[in-house]
Structure formats: C-alpha cells, structure tokens
C-alpha cells in the first residue's frame, strides 16, 4: 500500500515539470500468513521494500497529498486507516488544513467498492479541513475511465492499462495545478 505525497511547488519550477514528490507507504500490519496466501501481495511487499514508510512529517511537509489504497469491502485498507487514525495531533494543531487532498484506488472486481472507498477518504479530508480535488469530468479520459471521485482500477483485469494510467496522470496534474494556484494565491 502506498501513500504518495505530491508536495511543495518550488519557486521557478514550471507546472509541466511537476512538483517535489515524496512516495511513501504505510506500515504493513497484516500477518505474514495472510500476505503469503496472496502471491501478488507478497510480490508488492518485495517490490516496495525500499520505499520509506509514511510519517506525520510527510503530511506536514506536503502542500498536496494523494492517497492510494486497495478497496477492502468498500472502504480504504485497514493499514491506511491505521495511519490516518494516528494523525489526531496534526489535525488538532491545524497542520492538515488548507492542503489539497485526492485519492485513487483499486479493487479486485468491477463494482468492488471503489467509489465508496474514495468517498470514505473524502470524509477524512473534510474533517481535516482539506481541499478535496477529485478528477471530476475535467479531462476527456474521465469519460472512458468513468470515476469522477478518483482514479480507480480493477486489479482482477490485470495491470493498469493506458486509460487508467492517463486518468492517473490527469488527476495528479489537477492536484498539482490546484495546489500551485492556492499557494500562489496565499502569497499574493
């Protein structure tokens, strides 16, 4: 599971070059026997072994945050929820407010709870005082991918195809652009 943080538009960087990015993952809390029962899960853990774990300092540092999570029964995975549940001190100090938030997800089957997972994360972003930036239907690819709440993928169909990847790029660009506009407006 990954927490991707898109952050801090540096002065002089163009929007086409993007933003400074920290890619993080949350701690794996599932027991080893659950992970080993799913070869793709074990492979994911091996593939992301060198990715740093998310910490509160990553959220505090970010101007914009993109959360990615598998769908678990129509909700974010418990590992991500466990991380989010530790953010109370940041929330209480107002350190999560006024940031741009967005999310993406995957489920094993079509209609596997993707939209409800993204909407559940929006509940958290609202409590934090965040600015929720979904992709909406702001790019023609959204009429192909079909999820205005965030990029989603049916993992049971195989790896993400070009439509899903294009939708993800569009969503990330929208998040970065919105965060940059907000940051510029605050300094004006």
SS (H, E, C) 69-105: EEEECCEECHHHHHHHCCCHHHHHCCCCCCCEEEEEE
Conformation bin of residue 80: beta by default, left when phi > 0, alpha when psi is -120 to 50: alpha
- Residue 42, both tokens: 């074990």
Are 156 and 108 a contacting pair, CB within 8 Å? yes
The DSSP output letter for 111 is T
Q: How far is CA 34 from CA 30, 38, 41, 46, in A?
A: 6, 7, 9, 15
Which residue reads 């945050």 in tokens?
65
Report pLDDT digits (tens) over 139-188.
999 999 989 999 999 999 999 999 999 999 999 999 999 999 998 888 87
Alpha carbons 96 and 5: distance in angstroms, whole number: 13
User: Is pLDDT above 60 for 1?
Assistant: no
Q: pTM of the predicted model, to two decimals?
A: 0.89
Report pLDDT digits (tens) over 8-38.
333 333 333 568 889 999 999 999 999 999 9
Give the rounded distance of the alpha carbon of 163 from its chain centre: 18
If one counts every other C-beta atom within 10 angstroms of the C-beta of residue 79, the result is 19
């Amino acid at each position: 599971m990954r927490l991707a943080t898109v952050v801090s538009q540096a002065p002089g960087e163009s929007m086409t070059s993007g933003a400074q990015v920290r890619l993080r993952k949350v701690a794996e809390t599932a027991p080893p026997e659950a992970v080993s029962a799913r070869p793709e899960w074990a492979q994911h853990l091996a593939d992301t072994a060198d990715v740093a774990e998310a910490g509160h300092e990553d959220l505090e540092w970010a101007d914009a945050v993109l959360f990615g999570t598998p769908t678990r029964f129509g909700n974010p995975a418990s590992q991500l929820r466990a991380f989010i549940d530790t953010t109370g001190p940041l929330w209480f100090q107002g350190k999560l407010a006024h940031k741009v938030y967005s999310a993406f997800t995957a489920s094993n089957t079509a209609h596997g709870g993707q939209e409800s997972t993204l909407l559940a994360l929006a509940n958290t972003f609202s409590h934090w005082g965040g600015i929720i930036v979904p992709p909406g239907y702001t790019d023609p690819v959204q009429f192909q991918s079909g999820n205005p709440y965030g990029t989603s993928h049916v993992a049971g169909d195989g790896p993400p195809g070009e439509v899903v990847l294009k939708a993800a790029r569009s969503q990330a660009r929208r998040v970065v652009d919105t965060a940059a506009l907000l940051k510029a407006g605050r300094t004006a």
